Structure 1
């Protein structure tokens, strides 16, 4: 090969690897469309030649922005963190940047940052969006858009369907002898919150059990602690919480109130992001945050791939049984 002046270029890598320029381009944009052996070979050659793909230059040439945007309601929530890392890993595999915005669970801030990102990104992911369906459709007309954990007609979505897993937990609790449950909600604007409450309520009614719906929360650890007194006052023997953060806070609040889990109150969470850090281990619904995040990014980066086969793709959740559930105490049963 002739001596080069300056950094290696795409054609230099193609010549050295014995492949076409388009193949080299795909290795750094859509590697999943090539065989693993080809991707490895081309990347090794590129590394040897010290070739670095210039995503900004590619964006100028193709007219396609080099970044995608991800908008989340609360970046401190461990579920969002796992989802973000998975989406970032998928975008990095295609040498595409990921711009992240936190909305503090505000529909107005969400709309503003989404519109800003839409002007500079090649696509957007809205995680559990709080804005109206009409605003979401407006955004979808401006930029390729994927929703996570919400369904809006006409807009592609990837969401966790936890209804069956929640039904299974209600069945199990009833089988253990529980007859009076509580649901500890998350934010009122959350689509997932409404889906979970409905699934739990319908299953409890089918068993003739009573469901007490507590006051909505912002789904923080402190909210969980604060809900302990309402749980005690409600006289319930089991609580299903909107997510693990709330559930873990509730367990701490019950401990401070002199109540034990699961001796006095059984607790079930959702997401499986903190469950193994609690004592006792928290029974929960595994929401597969990593898979949801990866598939949402995939939908934007490879629109002809796995998610294209359906506008809304449901990822079915799983029950994870740990030590935070048990039969109700004899004093509850006798009363």
Structure 2
């Protein structure tokens, strides 16, 4: 406003600049809705104690007036902040964009505020982040958590936790069906005559990475393929050159990367070295991230339902934060979401 008045002094002096609209209060909402202020308060902080029709009427009036409850006051009254945190290992990894999208959608439907934290692929930093945010949120969705089980148990004693792409005893989790998915990958390679492949492993702390390798190794034994694991590699394109060079020292005719980002880095390095894909080497990734079909050649990859995983995790966390919710125990639910192999041009018949 000060800048406007400097440029338009006459308008300011004559009152032509409109005053800011007064913020709606709980009292004004109650008057407009014809209910008590306590009813408005409960409609937001404890909806189970308000008739459904009344609550919808109050929320509609509040939206029309532009009212939203003071989060600090609401937290003091209810003991809840109506805020949940989503923590990811690497915010630049496109895999997590789907999780964020689904989590945000579910949070909005539950009238929760979602905050996002970046653990920087570091289990120590992740645990400190969870501890630091603990008092400010009602719970956490930890995606592909790098923390060991003991650290997750410590964190769950202080706040509600739901896991995505990770499972741990006593904690609710949403995971991909890696057993079926890795079987699809190996069956695809076997059908093209491949007799061996290299798996480029991701971070040593990656729960999903361990499950991917276990599934690939078991499926390879079933199909009579030789499977070798290299790594660990940081799951970034920058790790692609070293990973690709290592594969080229073997006689493997196919490579399966920990994730699509690493696989794209491998494709770039193979192109630099004049290795034709898939004629000389087939390349497969995990996740089906945005851009997997833009690289050259388009990447064959195992698609996961990341958006659904984010949404289901927040829904589970919202249920845990409701008054009277029963804490999870040893029988905490694990939701397994289907996976599907998306076949593109980066994989094909083994060279003869």
TM-score (norm 1): 0.85
Residue equivalent to 2:294:
277
DSSP-derived class of the 1:261 partner: coil
Q: Tell me whether 1:200 sits opposite 2:222 in the alignment.
A: no
Deviations 1:98-151 (A, max 9, x none): 222212211111111111112221101111122221111111111111111111
Contact 2:23/2:67 (<8 A) preserved: no
Q: Is it true that 1:175 corresponds to 2:194 in the alignment? A: no
Deviations 1:237-277, CA, capped at 9 Å, x for gaps: 11111111011111111111100111111111111113122
Structure 2 counterpart of 1:83: 99
Gaps of 5+ in 1: 331-335
Q: 1:298 aligns with which of 291, 306, 315?
A: 315
2:86 to 70, 75, 88: 70
Matched, 1:11 2:30: yes
Aligned counterpart for 2:337 among listed residues 303, 306, 315: 315
Greater Rg, structure 1 or structure 2? 2
Displacement of 1:325 after TM fit? 1.0
1:25 aligns with 2:31: no
Distance 1:29 1:321, change over 3 A: farther
Runs (4+) of structure 1 exceeding 6 A deviation are: none
Separation (CA, whole Å) in 2 of partners of 1:184 and 1:6:
56
**Secondary structure class of the residue paired with 2:117:** strand
Please say if residues 162 and 318 of structure 1, whose CA atoms lie closer than 8 Å, have aligned partners that are also in contact.
no
Q: Structure 1: how far apart are the matches of 2:32 and 2:307?
A: 33
Q: How far 1:282 sits from its partner (Å)?
A: 0.9
Whether the 8 Å contact between 1:91 and 1:97 is mirrored in structure 2 is yes
Distance 1:150 1:248 in 2: 24
Deviations 1:145-166 (A, max 9, x none): 1111111111111111222122
> Partners in 2 of 1:102 and 1:78 — Cα distance?
13
Indicate the residue corresponding to 1:333 in structure 2. none
CA RMSD in angstroms comes to 2.7
Native 8 Å contact 1:224 1:250 kept in 2: yes
1:212 aligned to 207, 212, 228, which one?
228
Shift of residue 44, structure 1, vs aligned partner:
5.0
Q: Deviations over 1:1-27 (max 9, x none)?
A: xxxx972535346449xxx7589538x
Within 5 Å, which residues of 2 pair with 1:1-335? Answer: 7-9=24-26, 10-12=29-31, 14-15=33-34, 21=40, 24-25=43-44, 44-273=60-289, 274-303=291-320, 311-330=333-352
Q: Name structure 2 gaps, 5 residues minimum.
A: 1-21
**Residue 168 of structure 1: SS of its match in structure 2?**
helix
Distance 1:245 1:143 in 2: 32
In 2: Cα distance, 1:13 partner to 1:94 partner: 24
